[in-house]
Structure 1
Amino acid sequence: MPLAVYVLGLSVFALGTSEFMLSGILQPLARDMGVTIPQAGLLVSAFAIGMVVGAPVLAAATLQLPRRTTLIALLAVFGLGQVAGAVAPSYTVLFVSRVVSALACAGFWAVGAAVAVSLVPVTARAKAMAVMVGGLSVANIAGVPAGALLGQHAGWRSAFWAVAALSAIGLVGVIALVPRTAVPTGDDRPVLRRELSIYRDKQVWLALIGTALNGAAVFALFSYLAPLLTDTAGLSEGSVPTVLALFGVGALIGTFVGGRIADAHPFGTIIGGISASATVLALLALTAHSSVAAVTLSLLLGITAFATAPALNARMFNVATAAPTLAGATTTSAFNMGNTLGPWLGGLVISAGWGYPAVAWTAAALAALGVGTTVVALRLHRTKSASRLVASSADATHTPAPTQTAEAAEATGAADRV
């Protein structure tokens, strides 16, 4: 794996820490800003909304710019957004700083994902994306719990200062180690109209919806995991960073496993992983009052949720091969559509007075919908592959036998591989 891919994963660690750390500082932040827990949870949605909008817009706007230059500029803006959040005098200013940071984060992820997959063979795309997603996993293991500790002992603003410092380190790494790439010319020059053509493909939309539902399921619960652990499971606030770290350990395990098997079995990885998440969430809803069960299931949720991430990312690149930059942007938007929907639905459930276990039920239902969407995509994939096999057989009378055999084998493999 090229060193530049690991540098991008390191940068994603800083981005992921900022995106996820609010789950660990939600309570002190809400107290300091004088807002409710659901209102503070909307800051998670604010970041996600910025990611949804920013990924495709910035990917399109920077399509013909050198990718390395784009990465440097976006990471610098992201760092400044963290500084703005650290000194925010009001909830409104903090909300805006989250959106601005998210715009930069979205653009970095979209362009960075395109760079990562361009540096490896097609058969190693899921492994490359596993490295980048691994940055998010490590953010959950180290960054989010560290942010929670800082929030409890040095004030929630210190967590934003820490992420600003991480962004500076990531910026140095990108400048030093990500290779320069020339702007493509001629037929290789990116054309926005050609890249937008991917949205005519049903599989692109099915991949987008499935990814969004998976993200919604995870973040409906994860955004309110800290208050669930303290108010329902009976744990102390001081134990929250440890449980968040366990979730992160699970995420790292899941990313490693998913990255190993996703290239060979993309649909199987996605369907199996989301189904497992739905099961874990349902069990958590049933046993949320047990501290042992809540802690154990938090670890398992990290494994199941992140095992699907490399496959979901690689799948979008596979169905949108003509538009690698917009493929990365679309995946980013899809994940964060879910990250917007999930906390919002969770907040509605809490505001209705149904309690934190009901949030887990809501998340389980979203995961079940994600499984259904992916099953539809698999059936469509097999139908199309079977049609190609029939067409290949029909053309056999006009082609040499060896060619017929190769094409048939390829079509059959595409239809059967899950």
Structure 2
Amino acid sequence: MIRRVWPLVAAAVSLGIDAYVLAGVLPQIADSMTTTTAMIGFGVTAFTAAYAVAGPLLSGRLARGGTARALLVALGLFNLGNLVTTLAPGVEVFLASRVVAGVGAGVLTAVATATAAAMVADHERGRAMSLVTFGLSTGTVAGVPVGMLIGQSAGWRWTMALVVLIGVVSMVALALRAKALPRLDAGSGGSAFAVLRSGRTGVGVVAAFLLGVASLGLYTYLLPMAEDRGLGGLGFALVWAWGIGGVTGSALIGRPLDRFGPRPLLVALPALLALSFAVAWLTSSPAAWLVAAAVWGAAGWASVPTLQQALTADRPAQAMPVIAFQMAAMYLGSAVGAALGGALLTAGIRAADLAAWALVPAVLALALTGWIATRAAVRRAPDPAQAEACSVV
């Protein structure tokens, strides 16, 4: 399967890196443009806002012209935005370039995930979508350390040049395979918001937002939380435990998702996420924190394809707009979670207690995904002949 979808996975890696790479080099960018770190930080906000708006509104419209065209246009915008970021002479151009990159990223995520699912048999959809999430999580995990490493040795512009390079390689690979890409059902031209009329989809989008607030939002404060617990020396190991957990979870969730369906995982994964927060809140044990960080990363990232499968398995024709709203909600949740964490710290809340506050959206998400589990399509075992004919390459 990986041979069929690897260009989509590579594109997701570049997107994942881009979403977080600036976090490690914000001070360098601010110094080079003679502005404040806070002003450069608005670039992250601009990217996230453009991502959230563009995915639901533009993915279907672009896909009506063909899957390859939609992917190449999205990657083209993404690469163009990052190239302009690399060369930006001042903060105004920098911020505008982040909007362009965010538009491309929002469309790319929705179309790439729906395309991966459409390229395989029904009993392989979970693995196909989880591979795209694997690319996103790998890029996210690598983004900050890679950005800092290259930024410190060669400058932040070379950090962004790496993102452009990966994006261009993905674009060339997709162009070469354009004829093999399936045509997606892009609807008849109605409003992209029509999919939200389904109660299950609406609840799923809210759940994705809450999971983004809890998992990705809290990750912003992992190091301050550890330091407040007297575990500052463990910070590097905790970041990698979270990252390795996320990559492993997204890589391995596909097979159980295809075999058992999303129902049990919709309950188990948010529950594990909440449990990891409880451990971080209630203990200062280094071993417990390392395990909790790994479980946190694994459960948070594995929940992404699980929710996608639950919302689209019985209606693949609506996969693209549903995934667009889900991913937009997740990244918005990440931004809101980071902002709420900062507000709580400003209000005098201890960093160590942020895990307790994150339990609130995590438990709410668990309640919603549990409700979705009662309404998700029942997993049916594939026909043996079909499974043999469509076996993984």
Task: State the percentage of identical aligned residues.
Answer: 25
Q: CA deviation at 1:5?
A: 1.4
Q: Specify the alignment match of 1:59 in structure 2.
A: 59
Contact 1:55 1:106 survives alignment (8 Å):
yes
User: Counterpart amino acid of 1:364?
Assistant: L
Matched, 1:313 2:308: yes
Q: Specify the alignment match of 2:368 in structure 1.
A: 373
Distance 1:71 1:323, change over 3 A: same
Q: CA deviation at 1:172?
A: 1.7
Q: Specify the alignment match of 1:276 in structure 2.
A: 272
- Structure 1's unaligned 5+ residue stretches are 386-405, 407-418
Q: What is the CA–CA distance in structure 1 between the aligned matches of 2:152 and 2:217, rounded to whole Å?
A: 23
Map 1:236-255 → 2, pairs under 5 A = 243-255=238-250
Q: CA deviation at 1:111?
A: 1.1
Q: Specify the alignment match of 2:262 in structure 1.
A: 266
Aligned residues: 377
Q: CA deviation at 1:275?
A: 1.3
Contact 2:63 2:186 survives alignment (8 Å):
no
Distance 1:194 1:143, change over 3 A: closer
Q: Specify the alignment match of 2:200 in structure 1.
A: 203
Map 1:132-171 → 2, pairs under 5 A = 132-171=132-171
TM-score computed with the length of structure 2 as normaliser? 0.84
Q: Which of structure 1's runs of 4+ aligned residues deviate more than 6 A?
A: 30-33
CA offsets, 1:262-309, max 9 Å, x none?
232312212211111112123223447x76655443323211212212
Q: CA deviation at 1:82?
A: 1.5
Q: Specify the alignment match of 2:15 in structure 1.
A: 15
CA RMSD of aligned residues (A): 3.2
Distance 1:75 1:278, change over 3 A: same
Q: CA deviation at 1:23?
A: 4.2
Q: What is the CA–CA distance in structure 1 between the aligned matches of 2:182 and 2:279, rounded to whole Å?
A: 51
Distance 1:54 1:85, change over 3 A: same
Q: What is the CA–CA distance in structure 2 between the aligned matches of 1:334 and 1:327, rounded to whole Å?
A: 11
Q: Report the secondary structure of 1:77's partner residue.
A: helix
Q: CA deviation at 1:198?
A: 2.7
Greater Rg over alpha carbons, structure: 1
User: Counterpart amino acid of 1:258?
Assistant: I
Q: CA deviation at 1:116?
A: 1.0
User: Counterpart amino acid of 1:21?
Assistant: V
CA offsets, 1:98-139, max 9 Å, x none?
232111011011111121111112222111101111112322
Q: What is the CA–CA distance in structure 1 between the aligned matches of 2:148 and 2:322, rounded to whole Å?
A: 33
Q: What is the CA–CA distance in structure 1 between the aligned matches of 2:359 and 2:239, rounded to whole Å?
A: 20
Distance 1:182 1:251, change over 3 A: closer
Q: Specify the alignment match of 2:320 in structure 1.
A: 325
Contact 1:277 1:304 survives alignment (8 Å):
yes
Contact 2:30 2:40 survives alignment (8 Å):
yes
Contact 2:225 2:354 survives alignment (8 Å):
no
Q: CA deviation at 1:327?
A: 2.3
Q: What is the CA–CA distance in structure 2 between the aligned matches of 1:376 and 1:139, rounded to whole Å?
A: 31
Q: CA deviation at 1:182?
A: 7.9
Q: What is the CA–CA distance in structure 1 between the aligned matches of 2:136 and 2:179, rounded to whole Å?
A: 22
Matched, 1:222 2:219: yes
